[in-house]
Each structure stands twice: as structure tokens, then as C-alpha cells.
Amino acid sequence: MASVFTLEVGEFKGPLELLLDLIEHRKLEVSDISLSKVADEYVEYIEDRSQIPLSETAQFVVIASTLLLIKSKSLLPSIELTNDEEEDIRDLEDRLKLYAHARHAAKLLRRRWGKSAYLPKNPQKSEIIFAPAHDITKSNTFGVLQNLIETIPTFTQAPTAHIAREIKLEDVIDSLTTRMQSAFTDSFKNLTSKADRVGSIVHFLALLELIKRGTLKAQQRENFSDITMNHEEVGTPHYG
């Protein structure tokens, strides 16, 4: 089992740079399989880094949601993705491969040329002198300023961003545990009857975790049928 990769950095890492570091640490190629393997580590890094600039948060969230979608697809092959979701996955892979090539090329250039390849060691300082043209007058200066003011774009109202409610796996695990302690038995279909696609995926991951802990026992009589869940009195893991 691969060890957990802990990033300890003194400066901010962009969303693609972070994702590429996680993949390269595991010595994997960029693919949907490798993206699935680092999804949890990527989300964990975001949760632990409160210093992420607000302007970059949206990019991290978009990439994290795509990674969770890839992981869910690997766990539930029967899930059918929409064309937009398939396109998001391909787009992330393409962007990551392009970024990897660019970063590799930058490292080669630094090794070959150094940081000051095209700069003299002791550049001469030039004295800055303002030398206005002889034909400058108050009249034509005012005309230039007037034309410049007219080119300034008018103020427009910025679009309003709508942020979806965050669903945390830990919260769903706690909620499902409390529910099953009182109900003892329930079905996955009933549990996710009002949940959207993302909510259903998070509830399924919570169910797998509780089965692993021995808190719940689940049974599915045939492929693609409903899953029956039962609360276990003794927390003994069940396998098979």
C-alpha cells in the first residue's frame, strides 16, 4: 500500500501544480486511473490549507469535484456520466499533461542556461531623463487626455456567483450512523431518494466506510438491485 504523500511547502501551489506533484510522487502517468488514486489526497490537502487565496479557491473546488467524479466512476462502473462530465474529465487530463510538459521544459532550461543566462553580471544603470517634444502644448495635451478618458470602459455589474452547499463525507458518515442506530435497517434507495448525483455518491462512499468499520452490514441480492443496510451491535469488520 502506497504511503500517504504529505506536502510541506512554504509557498502557495496552484491547483494543477499540486495535482501533478501528487501523481509524480506515486510515479504514475497522467490518466483517469492515476487521478482516481490521488483524489483523496488532493481533497485532504485543500481542507488542511486555509491559506489558499479566495481567488484560487474556485479552481481547486472544480478540480476536486472532477477527481471525486473520476473516483466514483472507478468504484461504481455502472454510473453513466453525462457528455459534459466526460468532457470535464478529458479536459483535466489534457491540461495536466500540457502543464507537465511545460514544467519539464522549464526545468531543462534552468539547468542549461541558469537564472541569468541573458543578463550581464554587472548591468550598467541608465539615467532616466524626461525629454518632452518641442510641439507639446496645453491644447494638444488636453486633447490626448480627453481621448484617453473616452476609452475607459464604463462600469458594469459583476456577475453573481452561486456556490453550491458543501457535502462533507465525515458529516454523511455521522448522519448515517445516527440514523441506523435508531432504524436498525434501511435501504440505500430510501436513503438517497431526495439526493442528487453528488449526494448519492457521497452517501455510497459513507456506506462503504461504515461497512469497513463494521458499523453496518449491507446486502444486495442481485446486480443493480437495491442495497439493504443493517446496523451491527458489535463493531466487527465484515468482508466478502
Number of neighbours of residue 214 by Cβ within 10 angstroms:
14
Question: Do 108 and 174 sit in the same domain of this protein?
Answer: no
- pLDDT confidence of residue 130: 67
Give the integer Cα–Cα distance in Å for 192 and 202.
Answer: 10
- pTM of the complete model: 0.41
- Is 227 among the domain residues? yes
Q: Are 228 and 219 in contact (CB under 8 A)?
A: yes
One domain for residues 20 and 109: yes
pLDDT of residue 240: 44
Query: Domain range holding 57?
Result: 15-113
**Beta-bridge partners for 228:** 187, 219
Residue 138 within a domain = no
Cα Rg, the chain, nearest whole Å: 28
- Which of these three, 80, 96, 113, is where a domain ends? 113
- Cα-Cα-Cα-Cα torsion 228, 234, 237, 240, nearest 10 degrees, comes to -50
- Flag whether 7 is in a domain: no
Q: Kindly state whether residue 79 falls inside one of the protein's structural domains.
A: yes
Q: Are residues 37 and 108 in the same domain?
A: yes
Helices (runs of H) and strands (runs of E) counted in the chain: 9, 3
Residues 107 and 174 occupy one common structural domain: no
C-alpha–C-alpha distance, residues 67 and 36, integer Å: 6
pLDDT < 70 positions in the chain: 1-13, 49-52, 54-55, 114-125, 130, 132, 155, 158-165, 233-240
Looking up cell 502543464 gives 99
**Are residues 133 and 164 in contact, defined by beta-carbon separation less than 8 angstroms?**
no
Residues ≥6 apart with Cβ < 8 Å to 65: 198
Q: Which of 67, 85, 113 is the last residue of a domain?
A: 113
Query: Do residues 222 and 210 make contact, with C-beta atoms less than 8 angstroms apart?
Result: no
Q: Is residue 145 part of a domain?
A: no
CATH code for position 226: 1.10.10.580
Among residues 70, 97, 113, which one ends one of the domains? 113
Co-location of 106 and 190 in the same domain:
no
The pLDDT value recorded for residue 115 is 57
Q: Does some domain include residue 190?
A: yes
Any domain includes 131 = no
Q: What is the domain count for the chain?
A: 2
Is residue 236 in some structural domain? no
